[in-house]
Amino acid sequence: MKEYAVGIDLGGTNIRMGIVNRSSHVISPLSFSSPQGDEKEEEVYENIYNHIITLLEENGLTLSDIEGIGIGLANAIKRVRNLDGSIKKYLGIVKSNIKVINGVNLLVYLRERTGLKILLENDVNVGAVGEYITRKDKVSNLVTVYMGTGIGGGVIIDRKLYFGSHGVAMEVGHIKVEYDGPLCVCGSRGCWESIAGGAGLVNRAKEGIESGEKGYIYKMCKGDPEKITTKMVFDAKRAGDPFGERLIERAINSSKMGIVSLINLFDPDIVVLGGGLFHAQKDILLAPIVNYVRENALSAVRNTPIEISTLGKWGGVLGAGSLLFLDI
Ligand SMILES: [Zn+2]
């Protein structure tokens, strides 16, 4: 059992990496700009490999000192598992936020160059691992919900990450919260994120403006629905604008139903809420959700702790590296 692993967080803007230890610390975090143009695929992988080697050397370590490398990226990851649950192989092309990077190709490249175990995981699942690993002394079951442009989630069950048969477990944003509700990016209707996610909220505001709503949001976007932002919708609510208040109330109601359902379903030790939208608006979002859970969840799980994520920008690196310390 080795003390260290390397975690890599492939973001659309930056690639972050660091050495992660078993005490849940990120050592020597570093970041560099993600390739944005038509760089050669292999050269991008070689550059990532070189960064890993430099990172290890700077800390007096070599590849033989690390358990393996964990990579977090956007999108679901299909995999075939062995009967004992361990990962046998990854399937197909795994797109990332970075055009030139195919997750499976990067995994194969790094495995050949290092001879180490390489794990690939969806960024929200990686977030759940990061949340869990920092609480592992007191928590066995954990649910995370991240609210940003969309709404994503991850779950740790009995100290293991659960990914489902198709790698799409915990697509919580597509929990149905309104029958025949608004159209979602997934093609279905009434999904939680189509009402309470950043993009969904903007779309609901656009519909209102296009059908004649003339309040705060109309003024702020100067009558152009394409200029509406999530912040404008929340600002409208803060300003006491009735249309803004209706949109936020509908979003909060969706989140109440989503989160209480997750708590009733999983009976977790803790729920962790995070994501850009949630952090920016938590003064409006958190209290009504917590109050709803306290009054409406099943009595045994009504007092499930609901915490705000404190991982910050290196949480993806921590979670990705810590994948190597979980039994998956
Ligand atoms: Zn959906």
Residues 278 and 285: their CA atoms lie apart, in Å, by 7
Q: What angle (nearest 5°) sits at the alpha carbon of residue 111, between those of residues 108 and 114?
A: 145
Whole-number Å distance, alpha carbon 185 to ligand 1 midpoint, is 6
Of 119, 90, 152, 86, the C-alpha closest to 5 is: 119
pTM for this structure?
Answer: 0.91
126-160 burial string, b = 16+ CB within 10 Å, else e?
Answer: bbbbbbbbbbbeebebbbbbbbbbbbbbbbbeeeb
Residues 178 and 78: their CA atoms lie apart, in Å, by 29
Whole-number Å distance, alpha carbon 105 to ligand 1 midpoint, is 29
Whole-number Å distance, alpha carbon 315 to ligand 1 midpoint, is 26
CB–CB of 63/2 below 8 Å?
Answer: no
Whole-number Å distance, alpha carbon 265 to ligand 1 midpoint, is 19
Domain 144-308 falls under CATH 2.30.30.360: no
In three-state secondary structure terms, 14 is: strand
User: pLDDT for 209-242, tens place per residue?
Assistant: 999 999 999 999 999 999 999 999 999 999 999 9
Whole-number Å distance, alpha carbon 167 to ligand 1 midpoint, is 16
The fold for domain 4-134+312-325 equals Nucleotidyltransferase; domain 5 (3.30.420)
Whole-number Å distance, alpha carbon 196 to ligand 1 midpoint, is 12
Note the pLDDT of residue 138.
Answer: 94
Whole-number Å distance, alpha carbon 188 to ligand 1 midpoint, is 5
Whole-number Å distance, alpha carbon 297 to ligand 1 midpoint, is 24
In three-state secondary structure terms, 97 is: coil
CATH 3.30.420.40 spans which residues of the chain?
4-134+312-325, 144-308
Q: What protein residues have CB closer than 5 angstroms to ion ligand 1?
A: 174, 184, 186, 188, 191
Note the pLDDT of residue 328.
Answer: 64
**Spans of the chain, pLDDT less than 50:** none
Whole-number Å distance, alpha carbon 259 to ligand 1 midpoint, is 16
Edge-first strand order for the sheet with 160-161 is 160-161, 151-157, 142-147, 270-274, 306-308
Note the pLDDT of residue 32.
Answer: 94
Note the pLDDT of residue 75.
Answer: 79
Whole-number Å distance, alpha carbon 325 to ligand 1 midpoint, is 32
